């Protein structure tokens, strides 16, 4: 199977290229190889490779910066997605758009299902929701995959930040009133490969199983890494950020089950695997 991956130098994109490249003919394009805001360039690169599926990982992900950089967020997450969707549709490629838990407002008391009404609160969330709408409007063979709290071996993320801070601080305060599901990019990449090999189009929620607060996640990181850094819980109000975060963004994975896919392993099991792989990566 021929698969084109946008955002190939990003945290998720690198793992998608690495994981799927073992069994498929994968072309990964980073921002230097493909400007997704240029429609003609998108059409040229996609027509040149003629992939069976396009996995669109490229995105504007600076959540806080987006609050004052609205045009750029929409240029990339909306217009860029439109361009890739149009170019994919033109040659009959399947189109897989990676979305986010931020399309929900976080006010729910139970996990969000795939077809629940969305209500994004931040510019980032609104721009990603715009990408979803354009995907549904312009592609006849689309998958929308929402995920959350992503971390991987490449790029910056919460796990790496916690481990780095532990080197210089004896005590840390971490938010305890935001709940979600941490997701290892390697596990997500494996699922994406399984998904685009099918014709089971639609909206999917794909995160590692289980859920926790950021405080619980930080505690698990230090426990599994054997660190003694003291972690204290704090509230979102005490740790104000420019962009609002969903307080509860657990994603129900009904579409995985009803379409015959296995749910991703538990987040703590995935975390242990990540920490072991990271250690091997540094030693190498």
Q: What is the DSSP letter of 251?
A: B
| Surface-to-core class of residue 228, CB atoms within 10 Å of its CB (0-12 exposed, 13-18 middle, 19+ buried) | exposed
> What residues contact 99, with CB distance under 8 A and at least 6 apart?
128, 129, 131, 132, 144, 145, 146, 147
pLDDT value of position 138: 98
d(CA 116, CA 101): 12
Q: How open is the CA angle 156-157-163, to the nearest 5 degrees? A: 100
Structural domains of the chain ordered from first start: 2-155+182-209+249-265 (3.40.50.720)
Q: Which of 167, 258, 178, 173 is nearest to 211 (CA)?
A: 178
Q: Outline where the chain has alpha helix (H).
A: 11-20, 39-49, 70-74, 81-90, 123-138, 158-165, 185-196, 214-225, 254-258, 267-283
d(CA 252, CA 110): 9
> What residues contact 270, with CB distance under 8 A and at least 6 apart?
182, 183, 184, 186, 187, 208, 264
pLDDT value of position 281: 74
Q: Catalytic one among 74, 124, 142, 143?
A: 124
Place of tokens 């919460």: 158
Per-residue pLDDT tens digits of the chain, which is 284 residues long: 999 999 999 999 999 999 999 999 999 999 999 999 999 999 999 999 999 999 999 999 999 999 999 999 999 999 999 999 999 999 999 999 999 999 999 999 999 999 999 999 999 999 999 999 999 999 999 999 999 999 999 989 999 999 999 999 989 999 999 999 999 999 999 999 999 999 999 999 999 999 999 999 999 999 999 998 899 999 999 988 999 999 999 999 999 999 999 999 999 999 999 999 988 876 65
pLDDT value of position 282: 67
Both tokens of 49, joined, read 């490779």
**124 in active site:** yes
Q: What is the DSSP string of 126-167?
A: HHHHHHHHHHHHH-SSEEEEEE-SEE-SSS--HHHHHHHHTT
């Amino acid at each position: 199977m021929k698969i084109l991956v946008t955002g190939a130098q990003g945290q998720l994109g690198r793992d998608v290229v690495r994981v799927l490249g073992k069994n498929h003919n994968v072309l990964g394009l980073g921002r230097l190889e493909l400007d997704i805001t240029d429609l003609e360039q998108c059409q040229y690169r996609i027509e040149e490779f003629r992939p069976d599926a396009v996995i669109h990982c490229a995105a504007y992900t600076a959540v806080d910066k987006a609050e004052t950089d609205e045009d750029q967020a929409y240029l990339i997450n909306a217009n860029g997605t439109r361009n890739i969707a149009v170019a994919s549709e033109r040659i009959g490629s399947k189109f897989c758009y990676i979305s986010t838990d931020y399309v929900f407002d976080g006010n729910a008391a139970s996990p969000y299902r795939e077809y629940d009404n969305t209500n994004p609160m931040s510019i980032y969330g609104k721009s990603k929701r715009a990408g979803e709408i354009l995907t549904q409007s312009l592609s006849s063979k689309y998958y929308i995959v929402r995920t959350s709290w992503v971390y991987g071996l490449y790029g910056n993320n919460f796990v790496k930040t916690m481990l780095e801070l532990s080197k210089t601080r004896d005590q840390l305060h971490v938010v305890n009133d935001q709940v979600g599901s941490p997701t290892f990019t390697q596990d997500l990449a494996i699922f994406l490969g399984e998904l685009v090999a099918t014709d089971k189009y639609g909206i999917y929620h794909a995160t590692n199983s289980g859920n926790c607060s950021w405080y619980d996640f930080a505690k698990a990181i230090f426990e599994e890494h054997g660190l003694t850094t003291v972690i204290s819980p704090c509230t979102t109000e005490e740790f104000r950020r420019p962009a609002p975060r969903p307080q509860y963004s657990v994603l129900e994975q009904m579409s995985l089950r009803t379409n015959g896919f296995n749910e991703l392993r538990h987040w703590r099991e995935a975390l242990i695997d990540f920490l072991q792989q990271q250690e091997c990566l540094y030693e190498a």
